[in-house]
Structure 1
Amino acid sequence: MAYKVPAQPIDGNYKAVIIADQADLTALSAAVLNGATATDLSCYFTGDGLAITVDEQVITDERLCSRQTFEQPGRVQYGVETTFIDNTNGPYETEYNEAVEALAPGTTGVLVTRRNLPFEDVFATGQKYNAYPFRTGAMREVPAEANSVTRSTSKLFITGDVVVGGTVVA
């Protein structure tokens, strides 16, 4: 018997904000995530412009008594590559260039992401999030192409423990 498994569309249901470094990323407060110092970059990242990767190393576990080689999970390395709207030198630079400002080379902070809720909804107690402490690398222009907008890219170098599945507190 076949069962249909419902799926949540991701379009418009993803929030990505940058906050200042925090001592404890496991229980971020709604006040911090929604506060005046949080920068919501959800509408600056292109549709494929927030590439978060996980590379898990393998520990080989060989035993003298076995004809097989076993494995254990090893170290985990997270990576974040961003592509975002860049309005530098354009008519929108003054009012709409927050990604360029928030991701300037050498900037530190925490990228916090939340999925499966409308991006317009503020963070609320009990919601799940992921948090990635970072330092930005060099900002690079995306080559110009027809029928496109001006974009730049930046790698976020992970500088501390990543929190996956944190819960927003009051």
Structure 2
Amino acid sequence: MHDWLAVRPGDGGLLRRCAGATLDVGSGPGRLTVALARRGLPVLGIDLAPSAVALTVAAGGPALCRDVFGRVPGAGRWRTALLADGNIGIGGDPAALLRRVLALLEVGPPGTASRVEPLRLRSDRSVGEWFPWAHVSADAVAALAAACAATVTESWEDADRWFVTLRSRDERP
């Protein structure tokens, strides 16, 4: 958990690519949500963990305890959706998640194997429940995007982290 509190190498390039109203999916303690809010961008972090949402709000970022597959405020009006820190794995079904949010996401390096594994969050005070998490490589995203009516418009590596930008085929550039 401590690793997600501070700005990480590669965050700058990711944040610069955020355009307009941004939804930070699986925002955790809110480092990206807070950074975007400080830049004056309309942003909302959503996370299932009440403690993560509380950390975001305490740091000055707007956040709600929400499931991305449930009711999300502003549905259909978000310009950018962030799936950073491997959040492409939320729910263990990347295609389902991409159908839900077609925007900017972080993925594994090209050529790495995609896989699903159990994961849980751990801090100094508590250990969470196990949940499914998918790891997806940058090159696997193109196939997933095609199945979700999206196209890859950009991919890049920064500080040993890989990112991909998707655009819905229905969205005008």
TM-score range, shorter chain: under 0.3
Greater C-alpha Rg? 1
Q: Which has the higher strand share?
A: 1
What TM-score does the superposition give when structure 1 sets the normalisation length? 0.24
What TM-score does the superposition give when structure 2 sets the normalisation length? 0.24
